[in-house]
Structure 1
Amino acid sequence: MNLLKQYGMEDCNSGMTPSEVNVKFPDSKKLSEVNHYRELIGSLMYLSVATRPDIANTVSRLAQYVTNPSMCHWLAAKRVLRYLAGLAHRGLVFRKTNDPLIGYADADWGGCTVDRRSYTGYVFLISGAAITWKSQKQRTVALSSTEAEYISLAEATEEAIYLRSLLTELGLQEFIDITIFVDNKGAQCLAGDPVFHARTKHIDIKHHFIRQTVAAGHLKLQHISTHNMVADVMTKSLSNVNHERCRTGLGLTT
């Protein structure tokens, strides 16, 4: 609410989503007050890291333009504020359950129209709400959707190993039976198949540690339909209905 007041948007019209679907930033007038844009993106990044995973992907994309923003980027950032204004009452709600830690890993293949790199998105939930999440452009160009999903799965596996160690240290072993849900069967099969494949020989060896982790029984991979993929919101902008579905899956409720 302080952020809305700072930018004079206390009484603005609320938005249903933080970004348009398949948003593109056309050439437009360069923004004169660059510092205002940087300050706003910095504030939104704080929110996206701390309590609002539903804006993480949009903020990640807008943060790429902090050195040379245009008017279209400024308007897109203000759209995020309008979205937050309508959902200021939402928050991560945790409820006591005996369910183990679960994760969702997803990717948007070639999601960046500038350099065609993909976006990684993952989220881990416990007690019905998200405790850690990530939305970030991948460092290399993936040559297939399976490769993009596999890279995302590798990053989610790293986080799962850390969370497993943390829960063990806290004496919460009953929660370490971790399952990561993926919606790409190719990536799931690749993670469990030690056989050499010519089409995947170029994938960096560091990503193949997933196989060792699964073989050791530290986590399980399970396929899930794209319609039920909660991490979808971490990789791309969605329609109103799908965004609401993912937001509820993250545990962002009243």
Structure 2
Amino acid sequence: MKDLREAAYILGVKIYRDRSRRLLGLSQGTYIDKVLKRFSMEESKRGFLPMRHDISLSKEMSPSTPQERERMSQIPYASAIGSIMYAMICTRPDLSYALSMTSRYQANPGEGHWTAVKNILKYLRRTKDVFLVYGGEEDLRIKGYTGASFQTNKDD
């Protein structure tokens, strides 16, 4: 066995340590840059929210003509969803709601669905240097808030 010292990167996740304050941070800025480049979004505007509250996605936005289906078959919708999902699982829980809304339409996405995914990518461009922090001086207390709404899924 060979000691390679403390890990700085693992599976595309950068590890920050601050032992004096007992903090551990995880960031995927480099991975997000690669994702943005892959989907030609590295020069896009920077989004403020992963999904605006006034956006309503539904099955009716799916392609209905052969021309629309052909156009959407050229767009890597499922690949973009998978790339964003990796970031969400590792370090970006703030993407959960937007990703759950857009991933429902992977079987038959339309232009409106693709626009919503591009908005998530724009948000990632603005927040790529944000990182998840664990630890600190105080006891870890999880605080969670939720708003239940059964009206968000218009298809069901």
- Residue 21 of structure 1 aligns with which residue? 53
Is 1:57 matched up with 2:91? no
Residue-pair matches, total: 115
TM-score using structure 1 length: 0.42
Q: Secondary structure at the match of 1:65?
A: coil
Q: Secondary structure at the match of 2:76?
A: helix
Q: Secondary structure at the match of 2:146?
A: strand
Distance 2:138 2:52 in 1: 37
Q: Secondary structure at the match of 2:102?
A: helix
Which amino acid counterpart does residue 154 of structure 2 have in structure 1?
A: T
Q: Displacement, 1:10?
A: 1.1
Do the aligned partners of residues 74 and 5 (structure 1) sit closer, same or farther apart at CA in structure 2, a change above 3 Å counting? same
- Residue 74 of structure 1 aligns with which residue? 114
Distance 2:140 2:133 in 1: 17
Which amino acid counterpart does residue 19 of structure 1 have in structure 2?
A: M
Q: 1:46 aligns with which of 86, 90, 115?
A: 86
Equivalences for 1:78-97 in 2 at 5 Å?
78-97=118-137
Distance 1:42 1:69 in 2: 14
Distance 1:33 1:82 in 2: 22
Runs of 5+ in structure 2 lacking a partner?
Answer: 1-32
Distance 1:3 1:65 in 2: 20
TM-score using structure 2 length: 0.66
The structure with the greater share of residues assigned to helix is 1
Tell me: higher relative CO, structure 1 or 2? Use CA pairs within 8 A at least 6 residues apart: 2
Do the aligned partners of residues 28 and 114 (structure 1) sit closer, same or farther apart at CA in structure 2, a change above 3 Å counting? closer
- Residue 121 of structure 1 aligns with which residue? none
Distance 1:20 1:52 in 2: 17
Q: 1:98 aligns with which of 126, 138, 141?
A: 138
Which amino acid counterpart does residue 155 of structure 2 have in structure 1?
A: V
Which amino acid counterpart does residue 84 of structure 1 have in structure 2?
A: L
Distance 2:145 2:45 in 1: 33
Distance 2:140 2:42 in 1: 40
Runs of 5+ in structure 1 lacking a partner?
Answer: 116-254
